[in-house]
Amino acid sequence: MSGVQYLRPTSLAEVQACLQQHPQAQLLAGGQSLLAAMRLGLTQPSHLVDLQDVPELQDIRVTDDGVWIGAMATHARIAAHPEIQQHHPMLAKLAHGIADQQVRNVGTLGGSLANNDPAACWPAGVLAYGATLFTTQREIPADEFFTDLFTTALKPDEVLLGVLWPACACAQYVKYEQPASRFAMVGVAVTRATGHDHSAVRVAITGLGNGVTRWPEAEAALQAHWSVQALNGVHLSAELAHTDVHASASYRAHLSAVLCRRAVAAHTGEEAHLPRHAPPSTPRAPASRVRKDRAHSATQPTNNPTAISGSHHLGQTVAVVWDAVLDPVVLQQCIPGCESMQRLSDTQYTAVVKVGLGPVSARFETQIRVMPVCTPSQGEPAVCHLHLSGQAGSLGQGEAEVVVQLRAHATGTSPAAQGTHLQWQATPQMSGQLAQLGNRLMQASARSLSTQFFERLARVLSGQDASPPKRGFFSAIAELFRHWHPLIFRK
Ligand SMILES: Cc1cc2nc3c(=O)[nH]c(=O)nc-3n(C[C@H](O)[C@H](O)[C@H](O)COP(=O)(O)OP(=O)(O)OC[C@H]3O[C@@H](n4cnc5c(N)ncnc54)[C@H](O)[C@@H]3O)c2cc1C
């Protein structure tokens, strides 16, 4: 962290002046996320602008219409505030459930929201309340604030002042915590509005996928009838969830449904149990079948719990998609942040990718080896293996094996109805300090980047994006490396 200047303004005007004067400066709240990211070399601000002496960010005010909580209010202050405990018990409970006392004493509401960790608790509270976030430049409704993984609508020179929470008739937050960090494996916040909008219900889930999200089907069911029973038959697709070493996507989706029922039951007094005949989650194959499948798994995704996977439907034939996947020019267009890609041989490339996600800001270099296993002319599924590897300077090494499968998926008999089901699975491995970044962070970002890649691939293949190539294929998958492979070149 050498060379970072520490600034300690005593007013909002001074904070803004610091940000104007030093465009590479970063705001420092309690440092619970920012200092950890700096220690790992993921971000290198020129200046730290400490907000702790700025009085405009400290206020907590409870009124009949709701509560204002300043951005620099710590979790501990919010949890212990008598009026919040009385009028907004959910907010006090949510704050009290964050991490341990040491983290709560310094971690702040504003830092948590600006950081937008995909498993953080406050984003779920803010989204379920339909709260308004006030900044030095504007008011931002909660629905527009959380834009992506570790990313918000905040601009670099924008300071979050605080949050205005409306009064609610009912509000409940229930989380199932990951025991080591106490972050939410999944957390569900449910609110029911007061006044003429009494039936308006909002359900927000954290820890599920790439960031906090609302659950419209549950909201509609609860709006029609405010009861646990109303949730019978309302299911959350596991496609919205991610899998990591802690939990599978289907488990996360199931947990969301269970926690939502518990949150409603806390108000209605009903039993929260799922109905006896709830549809089972993905059926498990018998053990003998699994063993047999593994014997034939050279072309199959594995059951490795650290694997990240996804699937996409593309509107082109397998042959067309196959050619695109192996074409570095097309692929370079699709990799988010890929600045250049060089061909070393027919099967080997290097790519330089500029990374800018949440606390990470870096350029990194990836070596990519492509190994076609079964071409479309050889049969189905067409399968390609990729090996990605990189050295992250003193941070350690990262590598990943990626399997991409393509199957024909026709929706009709006409040529226009021919499509491809693309399935991919990546098994990343990290060593050195990179391993400390943990699967939660790495896998969530990898999923986000991979999704971006395949969305771009679909656009390019359908002719919607004819822009000249700026990026490369493997980035989507290579961006799996964002967190374990950063900082070969810095900005
Ligand atoms: C061990 C551990 C366990 C945790 N468990 C949980 C948990 O269970 N649930 C949960 O929700 N959180 C949890 N957290 C997160 C923690 O509570 C903090 O809220 C979070 O790390 C942000 O820290 P901070 O407030 O110190 O902000 P910092 O780390 O100082 O800043 C974080 C980011 O926000 C920016 N920022 C800060 N303030 C502002 C502002 N006013 N305007 C604009 N940008 C700003 C900074 O520039 C930085 O990019 C945990 C953290 C740790 C270390």
- 367 and 417 share a domain? yes
Comparison of pLDDT for 332 and 186, the residue scoring more: 186
Find the mean pLDDT for residues 319-345. 83
In a domain, 167, yes or no: yes
* Cα–Cα distance for residue pair 314/336, rounded to 1 Å: 19
Which atom of ligand 1 is nearest the CA belonging to 30?
26
Q: Whose CA is nearest to atom 46 of ligand 1?
A: 27
pLDDT of residue 412: 73
Q: Whose CA is nearest to atom 44 of ligand 1?
A: 114
382-439: per-residue pLDDT in tens? 999 988 776 665 555 667 788 899 999 877 777 667 789 998 888 777 665 555 555 5
Which atom of ligand 1 is nearest the CA belonging to 121?
11
For residue 93, give every residue at least 6 positions away whose Cβ sits within 8 Å of its Cβ, in sequence order, or none: 79, 173
- 262 and 356 share a domain? no
Test site for ligand 1: of 183, 206, 357, most ligand atoms within 8 A of the Cβ: 183
- 186 and 257 share a domain? yes
Q: Which helix (H) or strand (E) holds 129?
A: helix 122-129
Strands 360-374 and 66-70: unpaired
**Last residue in a domain, options 240, 268, 296:** 268
Q: Residue 282 — very low, low, confident or very high, per pLDDT cuts 50/70/90? A: very low
- 368 and 421 share a domain? yes
Ligand 1 centroid from CA 116, angstroms: 8
What CATH number corresponds to the domain at position 205?
3.30.390.50
- 238 and 311 share a domain? no
One-letter amino acid identity for 303?
Answer: N
Whether the CB-CB separation of 108 and 30 falls below 8 Å is answered with yes
- 262 and 178 share a domain? yes
- 130 and 235 share a domain? yes
**Last residue in a domain, options 216, 239, 268:** 268
- 162 and 250 share a domain? yes
- 353 and 472 share a domain? yes
pLDDT of residue 170: 92
In a domain, 100, yes or no: no
**Last residue in a domain, options 213, 246, 268:** 268
One-letter amino acid identity for 258?
Answer: V
The total domain count for the chain is 2
In a domain, 185, yes or no: yes
Q: How far is CA 172 from CA 81, 187, 192, 264, in A?
A: 18, 10, 9, 8
- 123 and 221 share a domain? yes
287 is written with which tokens? Answer: 């053990």
Mean of per-residue pLDDT scores for the chain? 81
| Sheet with 47-50, side-by-side order of all strands | 5-7, 47-50, 26-28
E strand segments, 139-240 = 139-141, 146-148, 151-152, 160-166, 168-177, 184-193, 201-206, 213-214
Q: Which helix (H) or strand (E) holds 324?
A: helix 318-325
> What is the Cα 464 distance to its own chain's centre?
26
Q: Residue 345 — very low, low, confident or very high, per pLDDT cuts 50/70/90? A: confident
Q: Whose CA is nearest to atom 3 of ligand 1?
A: 99
CA atoms within 13 A on the CB side of 418: 10
Test site for ligand 1: of 115, 136, 146, 437, most ligand atoms within 8 A of the Cβ: 115
Which atom of ligand 1 is nearest the CA belonging to 120?
11
* Cα–Cα distance for residue pair 447/240, rounded to 1 Å: 11
* Cα–Cα distance for residue pair 379/457, rounded to 1 Å: 23
In a domain, 218, yes or no: yes
233: DSSP letter: T
What CATH number corresponds to the domain at position 469?
3.30.530.20
Residues spanned by the domain of 238: 112-268
Find the mean pLDDT for residues 270-299. 49
List ligand 1's pocket residues with C-beta within 6 A. Answer: 26-34, 51, 71, 75, 98-99, 103, 106-108, 110-112, 114-115, 120-122, 154, 159-160, 181-183
Q: Residue 363 — very low, low, confident or very high, per pLDDT cuts 50/70/90? A: low
Q: Whose CA is nearest to atom 15 of ligand 1?
A: 112
* Cα–Cα distance for residue pair 369/48, rounded to 1 Å: 40
In a domain, 84, yes or no: no
Find the mean pLDDT for residues 305-326. 82
For residue 296, give every residue at least 6 positions away whose Cβ sits within 8 Å of its Cβ, in sequence order, or none: none
Whether the CB-CB separation of 351 and 472 falls below 8 Å is answered with yes
One-letter amino acid identity for 472?
Answer: G
In a domain, 414, yes or no: yes
Distance between the two ends of the chain, CA-based, in angstroms?
A: 16
261-279: per-residue pLDDT in tens? 999 999 888 888 877 655 4
- 235 and 315 share a domain? no
- 346 and 398 share a domain? yes
Q: Which of 199, 205, 246, 238 is nearest to 221 (CA)?
A: 199
* Cα–Cα distance for residue pair 416/411, rounded to 1 Å: 9
Ligand 1 centroid from CA 71, angstroms: 11
44-103: per-residue pLDDT in tens? 899 999 999 999 999 999 998 899 999 999 999 999 999 999 999 999 999 999 999 999
Find the mean pLDDT for residues 252-267. 96
In a domain, 104, yes or no: no
Ligand 1 centroid from CA 74, angstroms: 10
Torsion of CA 463, 465, 471, 475, to 10 degrees: -70
In a domain, 352, yes or no: yes
